[in-house]
Amino acid sequence: MNPRRFKIYLGLLGLAMSGFVAAEPESKSLIKDFKFTPLAVKAGTTVTWVNRDDEPHTVVSDTGLFRSGGLDTNESFSYRFDKPGTYQIHCTIHPRMVATVVVSPPS
Q: Which residues bind another protein (CB under 8 A)?
A: 33-34, 53-56, 58, 62, 67-70, 72-73, 88-90, 92-96, 98
The DSSP code sequence of 56-81 is: -B--EETTSS-B---B-TT-EEEEEE
The least CB distance from residue 96 to another protein, in Å, is 5
The least CB distance from residue 83 to another protein, in Å, is 20
* CA neighbor of 31 nearest in space, from 16, 51, 6: 51
CB nearer to another protein: pick between 56 and 84:
56
* CA neighbor of 36 nearest in space, from 81, 85, 105, 87: 87
Rg (CA), the chain: 18
CB nearer to another protein: pick between 6 and 34:
34
The least CB distance from residue 32 to another protein, in Å, is 9
